[in-house]
Structure formats: structure tokens, C-alpha cells
Amino acid sequence: DTVLTQSPALAVSPGERVSISCRASEGVNSYMHWYQQKPGQQPKLLIYKASNLASGVPARFSGSGSGTDFTLTIDPVEADDTATYFCQQSWNDPNTFGAGTKLELK
Amino acid sequence: QVQLQQSGTELVKPASSVKISCKASGYTFTSNYMHWIRQQPGNGLEWIGWIYPGNGNTKYNQKFDGKATLTADKSSSTAYMQLSSLTSEDSAVYFCARSGYGDWFAYWGQGTLVTVSS
């Protein structure tokens, strides 16, 4: 299976820019997607196919990358962005998710 | 608007089975793949498989072959997942999620907590 590696946690101050990385163990073309999950809630799609903003998602969120290295950027970070962020690839079978990056605000 | 409403919390005994449901509304149920995803306590997300309600075709993550069985009822726009031979390892929140033209998930159910305990 394709393993997606994310850093476990990040802490930033409101108003700053933060980049969350996701590295795939093998190429996934541009089929990398990003989700935000808050405690007790279902995940919410933020970005699909590496760089496409999902409907209703603020333009503060953006995605980039291709192949094996991908980045989710939030600029500027707001207090409500405290959450865990997951990447997911759908190029290789089976679909796999990263373990998540927990974003905390200082 | 698209909504996926899942059945409630289940407390089940080891070695038993459980069937959870996901009722879809706000779109044509038979025209989109329905996926199931597991989230174990404190852990990440695992894709279990999908069903295409239009023709009943299914695809499973090999890890869940024999553990999960996906079905769908077109008359009630409801997808089901049955989990069998339950162990404590199956204790988790299970989500249904709809994909669009690619396997990313813009719509999710609220999740069903399954706890396996004697």
C-alpha cells in the first residue's frame, strides 16, 4: 500500500502562514486530497487533486505538489483552523490516508 | 443538499456481526459511489471499500475482504455495511462518504461508533 507520511504536529500563531506536508512512498500523480477534521466531527474536504479548492472552502487554504511531495498551506491561519489535517491519495489501490497533522494555535 | 445520515452507536459482543446504515438524500443515489472508511480511536483513517448502488458492484480494500460486506437498497437510498466476526480491533468510528467523479470525498456521514465488548 502507498504510505503517506505527515509530520505529527505543528503550532503556529494566528495570522501566520503554515505549510503541512505529505510525502507518498510512491508516485500518486496529482491524486492527493486534503481534509480537515475537528474532534467529534467527520472530515471535511479542503483540497482535491493536489490544488483544487473544494466548494465553500476559504481561499486561505491552498494545495500544491505532484508525484510524491505535497503541501497544504493555510495563509493566514485563524483560530478556527485548530484541527487535524489528513492527506489521502486515490491514484494507487487501495486509497490510503496519512496519519494526520495536528495543528495547534499558540 | 447532499446528506448522508448514519445509524446510531452500536455496542456488540465479540464474534458477533453488526450492520450499519447510511441513508442518502439530495442527489441521485444510484449515480455515485458510496465509500466506507474506518477511524480507530486516536488513529487515522482507513478506506474499507466502495459500492456503486446503480448496479451493486463492490470493491474492497484487501485488508477488509471477508470482514466487511457492502450492500445498497435503491428503493430507500440506503447503503449498508455489515461487519462480521467482530473483535476489539473492530472498535472504531465508521463513516460513509460519497465520491464524485474521482475518489475524493466531499460528502460524509456523521459517523457510527461501533464498540466491541463482552
pLDDT more than 90, % of chain B: 94
State which H helix or E strand residue A100 sits in: none
pLDDT more than 70, % of chain A: 100
Please count the CA atoms within 13 angstroms of the CA of A6 that sit on its side-chain side: 27
Q: Specify the pLDDT at position B98.
A: 97
Minimum CA–CA partner of B105 in chain A: A45
- pLDDT of B100 higher than 90: no
Whether A97 sits inside 8 A of B111 (CB atoms) is: no
Question: How many angstroms separate the CA atoms of B25 and B47, rounded?
Answer: 22
Name which of A26-30, B66-70, B102-106 the model is least confident about. Answer: B102-106
Q: In the structure, what pLDDT confidence band is assigned to residue B44 with cuts at 50, 70 and 90?
A: confident
CB A104 within 8 A of CB A39: no
pLDDT, averaged across chain B: 96
Question: How many angstroms separate the CA atoms of B22 and B33, rounded?
Answer: 13
Q: What is the mean pLDDT of residues A62-68?
A: 97
CB B102 within 8 A of CB A49: yes
Q: Specify the pLDDT at position B41.
A: 85
CB A9 within 8 A of CB A102: yes
Whether A90 sits inside 8 A of B63 (CB atoms) is: no
- pLDDT of B24 higher than 90: yes
Whether A33 sits inside 8 A of B104 (CB atoms) is: yes
Contacts for A67 with CB less than 8 Å, ≥ 6 apart: A24, A27, A28, A29
Q: Specify the pLDDT at position A8.
A: 86
Whether B108 sits inside 8 A of A98 (CB atoms) is: no
A57 and B CB contact within 8 Å? no
3-state helix, strand, coil in chain A (%, to 5): 5, 50, 50
- pLDDT of B43 higher than 80: no
Give me the torsion for CA of A5, A65, A92, B41, rounded to 10°. Answer: 40
User: How many angstroms away from the CA of B24 is the closest CA of chain A?
Assistant: 16
